[in-house]
Amino acid sequence: MTGVTRRTARMADGRELIYFDDAGSTLPAERRLDERRLDPRPATATMRQDVLTGDWISVASGRNNRVFLPPAHLDPLAPQTPENPSEIPDLYDVVVFENKSPSFGPDTDGPLAPAGRGFDRTSPSVGRCEVVCFSPESTGSLGTQSVTRIRTVIEAWADRTRELSALPGVAQVFPFENRGEAIGVTLGHPHGQIYAYPFVTPRTRSTLDAIRELGPDLFARILEREQAGPRVVLAGEHWTAFVPFAARWPIELHLLPHRQVPDIDALDEAERAELAVVFKRLLQGVDALYDTPTPYIAAWHQAPVREGRDEVRLMLQLTSPRRGADRLKFLAGSEAAMGAWVADIVPEDAAARLREAVAQG
C-alpha cells in the first residue's frame, strides 16, 4: 500500500477497528487496548419496502441515541484520554471502525434484499456502517489534510471497499464525507463514513438502466463530451473534474478517472497518487468560493459488487446546497415531493466560478 501500514484491533464491545498509518509515520506499532465497559451492540434493524417505488428503507431507531454536537473536550473521535473515553483507544493517522449506531448491520451474512416489489415486505438491514477518521485533530475536513494524509485515506477506502465487497450480505459499498452542520453533520471532527448496503441503491439502479438504454460505453462518452466542452474545472493525466450538463445543486462537481474502473480498489498506483492531489485541489477550490468553509457531500459512486462491473465507472460526486455566501438551497415541494429539480445556477457559469476558485486554492 505504498508505505501505508495497516494494523487491526478490536473495540471493547467487539467492533472491528483498523489503523492506517501514513507512509513514514512515527507512530508505534503497538496501540493501547480499548478498556471501556460498553453496552452490548444493538440488534440489526429491519428494512421495509416502499411498494410504490421499490425502495428499501432501513428503520434503524437506535440511531436516535447517537452523539449530537458534543463539546470539543468530549470529542468521541479523538484519541482516548483519562478525561475523554472516546471511541479510539490510541493515537492514529487514519482509523476506520464499525459505527456504534449503524443503519445497516452489524449482521453481514445475508440475506440480500429480495428482488421485485410487493406489499408489507421486510428484510434484515444486514451490511455494515463504518466511520473513517481523517485526522486525530478535532477540527477540519478531508480538504484540510496534507496530500500524504489524503493518500492514506484513499488506501483506507480501497481496503474497505475490497473487504466489505467480500461480505455475503453486501451488494454495494459507498464511501462518503458529509461536511458542515448545514448538511446535518453532528460531529465536527474530520471524518467520513462507509455504508455497505444489502441492495443496489436507487441511484445506481438508474445508472444501470441508462447503460442498458444508451450502451456499455456510456461513461466513456460522457467523459469525452465533457472534456471537449466548457464545464471542465480541473484535468490531469488520469482524472477530469467537471460540472455536469444537468447539474442539480448550486455547487456540483463530478470527477471521473480516464480509465474504466468499477471502484476505488481497482485504481492503480498512478491513479491513486494523482487523485490525492486533484481531490485536495477541488476541495480547497470549493472552500475558496466564499470567506467561510462550504458545506458539502463528497460521494463516491462505485459499481455494485455483483453486476455492471465492466460498465459502471467509479465517480466522485461533490455537491453543496450553498447558492451564495449566506444562502442555501432547500429541497422544498418540487424536489422533495416529486423529484423534479429546478437549478438555481447555469452549469457553465458554475464551472467558470469553480475553475477560478480552484486556481486560487
Q: What residues are annotated to the active site?
A: 191
Distances in Å between the alpha carbon of 257 and those of 222, 253, 318? 12, 13, 15
Query: Which element (helix H / strand E) includes 288?
Result: helix 269-288
Q: Decide: 4 and 152 in contact? Cβ < 8 Å.
A: yes
Q: Decide: 172 and 197 in contact? Cβ < 8 Å.
A: yes
d(CA 116, CA 121): 10
The grid coordinates listed for 217 are 460505453
Order across the sheet with 172-179: list the strands: 5-10, 16-21, 94-98, 128-133, 191-197, 172-179, 296-301, 315-320, 251-257, 239-242, 232-235
